[in-house]
């Protein structure tokens, strides 16, 4: 309790200091923008409470989360696009009914974002260079897309700089760096075999710490939440072995799945469109990678938070995991013994699913065991 009180005061002081900085959106305040879009103060505070819980903070911190959102326009953001489909940006920008998250993102001091800015060519390059110089040491860098290491495969702008070169230059003056989406976090589909461009993740080409926010695309709240966390704490959140924030990627899809009870009861969809599918049975046997995937999709959902793939009837494809395109496919088939040793006399996860009972705990532990092994390997490699 005493630690929480001390932390509350520290965050409050930091936010007060940020509030004194000039706003990049002169004449526009968050509350006014929310009101224009039909959101009342009560709606905003409900959102703040929910986001506080999402960030794994005490409920008493909700007013601080709200204040962090209100001063977000004091913090400059540079957003770079590499080899990608722009889906991560679209998850924030292309909402049918603007959400509070997308409105907050609109209010952020977004100094550079190729998809939404009017400038092009030499002017765009000048804007990027000006932003990096003006806000050196204070801006948040967000990078979307995998980075080819055969650098002539991705040249950008009037001077034809490589994507990797632009990322390195932008990373030098960044206060915090976020790899947005699986492509930037782990290479994504660009790095899938045979990987002709030798595409890789952002952290492989720069030397500074990178927070990975994977997903194809990640939830808008996972994007906005990380910005709010940095605004509040001025530091990086607790990360797992793959540099993903634990508040967002600490649990498996399987742990939070609405069909988990069906799994435990041994009720599985055998093929799409069968009676089990109509009844909402577990999708493991038709390829769901939930036991191997760490994300909070079932909590946050997509399409204005109305649904997510498993609710819609298709299994998780494991898109927030490293190398998912190679290791998780074919997406409509279970992994079984193809990737992880699920043991018990060599039986794979398929066999475990058939023999529901005491052995069911083996499948429950698959993701955790694989994650622990990978985490241990990575930590040893880093050390």
- The whole-number pLDDT of residue 96 equals 56
Q: Are residues 215 and 351 in the same domain?
A: no
Choosing from 220, 249, 278, the residue where a domain stops is 249
Residue 340 pLDDT > 60: no
CATH number at residue 222: 3.40.50.700
Which residues are documented as binding site for [3Fe-4S] cluster?
Answer: 297, 316, 319
Residue 369 pLDDT > 90: no
Choose the weakest-confidence range: 66-75, 162-171, 195-204. 66-75
- The whole-number pLDDT of residue 57 equals 92
CATH number at residue 293: 4.10.480.10
Closest CA to 287 of 327, 314, 312: 314
Q: Are residues 181 and 310 in the same domain?
A: no
Q: Are residues 266 and 234 in the same domain?
A: no
Choosing from 218, 249, 280, the residue where a domain stops is 249
Q: Are residues 194 and 285 in the same domain?
A: no
Count of other CB atoms within 10 angstroms of residue 253? 26
Q: Across all residues in the chain, what is the average pLDDT?
A: 84
Which residues are documented as binding site for [4Fe-4S] cluster?
Answer: 85, 88, 183, 216, 254, 257, 282, 288
- Residue 337, domain extent: 253-382
pLDDT > 90 in the chain, percent:
54
Q: Taking a C-beta distance cutoff of 8 angstroms, is the pair 50, 61 a contact?
A: no
- The whole-number pLDDT of residue 27 equals 57
- The whole-number pLDDT of residue 341 equals 42
Q: Are residues 113 and 223 in the same domain?
A: yes
Which residues are documented as binding site?
Answer: 85, 88, 183, 216, 254, 257, 282, 288, 297, 316, 319
Determine the Cα–Cα distance for residues 43 and 67; give it in Å rounded to an integer. 14
**Which of 30-34, 104-108, 137-141, 157-161 is predicted most confidently?**
137-141
- Count structural domains, the chain: 2
Q: Are residues 219 and 273 in the same domain?
A: no
3-state secondary structure the chain: CHHHHHHHHHHHHHHHHHHCCCCCCCCCCHHHHHHHCCCCHHHHHHHHHHHHHHCCCCHHHHHHHHHHHHCHHHCEEEEEECECCCHHHHHHHCCCCCCHHHHHHHHCEEEEECCCCCCCHHHHHHHHHHHHHHCCCCEEEEEECEEECCHHHCEECCCCEEHHHHHHHHHHCEEEEEEECHHHHHCHHHHCCCCCCCEECHHHCCCCCCEEECCCCCCHHHHHHHHHHHHHHCCCCCECCCCCEHHHHCCEHHHHCCCHHHHHCCCECCCCCCHHHHCCCECHHHCCCHHHCECCHHHHCECCCCECHHHHCCCCCCCCCCCHHHHCCCCCCCCCCCCCCCCCCCCCHHHHHHCCCCCHHHHHCHHHHHHHHHHHHHHHHHC
Q: Are residues 231 and 260 in the same domain?
A: no
């Amino acid at each position: 309790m005493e630690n929480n009180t001390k932390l509350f005061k520290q965050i409050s002081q930091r936010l007060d200091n940020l509030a004194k900085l000039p706003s990049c959106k002169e004449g526009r305040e968050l509350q006014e923008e929310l009101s224009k879009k039909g959101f009342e103060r009560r709606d905003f505070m409900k959102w703040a409470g929910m986001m506080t819980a999402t960030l794994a903070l005490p409920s008493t911190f909700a007013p601080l989360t709200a204040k962090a959102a209100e001063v977000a326009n004091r913090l400059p953001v540079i957003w770079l696009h590499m080899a990608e489909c722009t889906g991560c940006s679209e998850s924030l920008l292309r909402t049918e009914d603007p959400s509070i998250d997308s409105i907050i993102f609109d209010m952020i001091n977004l100094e550079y974002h190729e998809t939404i800015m009017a400038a092009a060519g030499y002017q765009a390059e000048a804007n990027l260079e000006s932003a990096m110089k003006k806000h050196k040491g204070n801006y948040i860098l967000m990078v979307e897309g995998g980075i080819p290491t055969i650098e002539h495969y991705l040249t950008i702008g009037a001077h034809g700089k490589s994507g990797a070169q632009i990322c390195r230059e932008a990373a030098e003056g960044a206060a915090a760096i976020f790899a947005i989406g699986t492509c930037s976090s782990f290479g994504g589909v660009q790095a899938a075999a045979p990987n002709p461009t030798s595409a890789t993740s952002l952290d492989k080409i720069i030397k500074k710490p990178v927070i990975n926010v994977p997903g194809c695309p990640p939830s808008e709240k996972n994007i906005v939440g990380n910005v709010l966390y940095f605004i509040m704490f001025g530091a990086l959140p607790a990360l797992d072995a793959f540099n993903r924030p634990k508040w967002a990627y600490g649990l498996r899809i399987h742990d939070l799945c609405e069909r988990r009870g069906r799994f435990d009861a041994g009720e599985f969809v055998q093929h799409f469109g069968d009676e089990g599918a109509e009844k909402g049975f577990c999708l493991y046997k038709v390829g769901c990678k939930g036991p191997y995937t760490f994300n909070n999709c079932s909590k946050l959902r997509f399409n204005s938070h109305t649904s997510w793939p498993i609710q819609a009837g298709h299994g998780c494809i494991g898109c927030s995991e490293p190398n998912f395109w190679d290791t998780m496919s074919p997406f409509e088939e279970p992994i079984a013994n193809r990737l992880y040793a699920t043991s018990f006399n060599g039986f794979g996860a398929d066999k475990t699913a058939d023999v529901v009972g005491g052995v069911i705990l083996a499948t429950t532990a698959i993701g955790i065991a694989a994650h622990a092994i990978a985490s241990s390997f990575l930590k040893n490699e880093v050390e």
